[in-house]
Amino acid sequence: MAHFDLMMDRRALLGAAAAGLGALALGGCSTGGADEGSDAGIASVDVVDDSTIVVGIDQPVCLDPYFASAPASAQAVFQLFDPLTRYDFETGALTCLAAESYRVSEDQQTFTFTLRDATFHNGDSVRASDFKRAWERLVSPESAAATAWGGPSWAGHLLALVEGYNELRSGAASSLSGVSCPDDRTLTVKLTRPYAEFPYIVSALGLAPVPTSAEDDPVAFGAAPVGNGPFMVAAEQGHPDDAFDLVRFEEYLPMPAQIERVRFSFQEGVSESYRAFESDDLMVSACPFNEVDANAASWKSNDDERLQLNSSRHMVLGSEPVVSYLVCNTTVGPLNDAAIRRALSMAIDRDALSKRVFRDARMPAYGIVPPDIPGYREEGWAAAEYDVSAATDALDALYSKGSDGERDCAISLLYSADSGHKNAMELIAEDFEAVGVTCELEEVSFEELYERLEAGTFQLARIDWTPDVPCMDNVLFPLFHSSAQGGFNFSRYANQRVDELIDQARATASDTERIARLREAEDVIAADMPVIPYIFGAHAVVGSRQVEKLLIDPYGYAHLGEAELA
């Protein structure tokens, strides 16, 4: 299947994420005003007042959902556009957003979405054709957006199972044949194979609707887009070089935001942003981990509002759906032996790693599925538990020590110099040495890391994975399904039973039964240990006393549309 034909785009995205500003980071955009006469749907504002929330971010590159997967624009796009659905992390349920409801065929291949009554910021009704247009411009190499921005959007891969995707992606067709609009409020999507979690896929920001102006002039649209979300771009930008403003969309349904205006103030990194926060120039900012109280971690609390900044909680230290792990090349020795892979995993003291390297601000990873993803289990993988004795016994059975006390077992561990995980790799190498395995660390550029992952010229390699959307399939399929070899299954792992269980889950309508099948697949994966997870991601965000209520979800999005000021 064609999930992975945009590898270079994903690689660039992961590189940008590694250098981003954290939870509230938008890596890079010049949002200069639109051309004269193109400001329909853009409100006029002049000054900041007490109904404005000021948020520190990096300078974005573009405000078009076309770039919604990149840190450069995601935070702003989240405020400006509504996709069909959204996962509610507080309730643990997928909810409708731009959609009013949806129906799924018995074979889990046809999805019919009924849109709620809504308008774009320029007053035009949001129609089913606006979604079809948005999706096709993501996939087509000949769309105006692709021409303007240098190729199809990374978000287009999310539509790989839609009928007609391959034809449109190759340029052989001009539309997605599997997407139809029987009327203005009905969007029907047909897939080439069952995928019960497709309603989660359409929660991705990149799949939000766009009006015709998005293709008429994609550059102007990227600077001042017309969306369907709770906020709209302000026509008069008082600080075009160091900030940009959004204002409340008064016609937003079911009700407009309480906050009248959002000012995104550009900051060069987390430290500068935090200093501006301390100087009362910002009301919300990312926080350096050396300033956090690890006891405030959301995963250490049973508080239902643990993700919210409010009058009594001025910091959110939240786990992110990002897992850092070591890829084992299962096609080369000695890592072609699952017993060796399990032994190496048991040799890693993840708790010490969290405390010594990440100041206890990141949660140790005892499995591959991140917290806050439906299906996550606290108990983790058996071979991810720290057990030096078991690791030593397993290695003794395979590589007994010589008279000099050394084993004839050596591995190399590849990692990117830009990853920020050098200290973690050094500590893991020490853990391996402690059980008699010589570990040579090899620091390379981000580009070389991915070249070697693709070529298979490595033994162990450090990498991160972030699910595009919060569903378990979006972790297990790309990393472990045999058809994902040549994509992100860098371990070259193949297990027929795992393939069968993932495929069965995709055809299962019941959420409970689907997760049960995926967990069964994960159990098989855990026993085979083709990857070694070690730490989950995290973000720290601080808010001033002026912030009465603001949800920061695990992806780091600030839910400003529901926020309140004191």
What residue spans define the domains of the chain?
A: 7-265, 319-537
Which CATH superfamily groups domain 7-265? Periplasmic binding protein-like II (3.40.190.10)
Structure confidence at residue 545 as a pLDDT band (50, 70, 90): very high
Q: Among residues of the chain, what percentage have pLDDT more than 70?
A: 90
Task: Evaluate if residue 309 carries a pLDDT over 80.
Answer: yes
Give the model's pLDDT for residue 22: 35
Average pLDDT over residues 429-434: 96
CB 33 within 8 Å of CB 224? yes
Q: Which of 447, 459, 536, 526 is nearest to 490 (CA)?
A: 459
- Evaluate if pTM is beyond 0.85: yes
CA 372: distance to chain centroid? 12
User: Model confidence over 265-295: pLDDT tens digits?
Assistant: 999 989 999 999 999 999 999 999 888 888 7
Structure tokens at 143: 């769309």
Contact between 61 and 29 (Cβ < 8 Å): yes
Q: Residues 38, 230: contact at Cβ < 8 Å?
A: no
15 vs 469, residue with greater confidence: 469
- The answer to whether residues 261 and 248 touch, using CB atoms and an 8 Å cutoff, is yes
What does CATH list as the number for 319-537? 3.10.105.10
| DSSP states of 56-74 | EEPPPS--SGGGTTSTTTH
CA distance 537 to 352: 16
The mean pLDDT value for 153-180 works out to: 95
Contact criterion met (CB below 8 Å) for 56 and 265: yes
324, pLDDT greater than 50: yes
Measured distance CA(309)–CA(257) in Å, rounded: 17
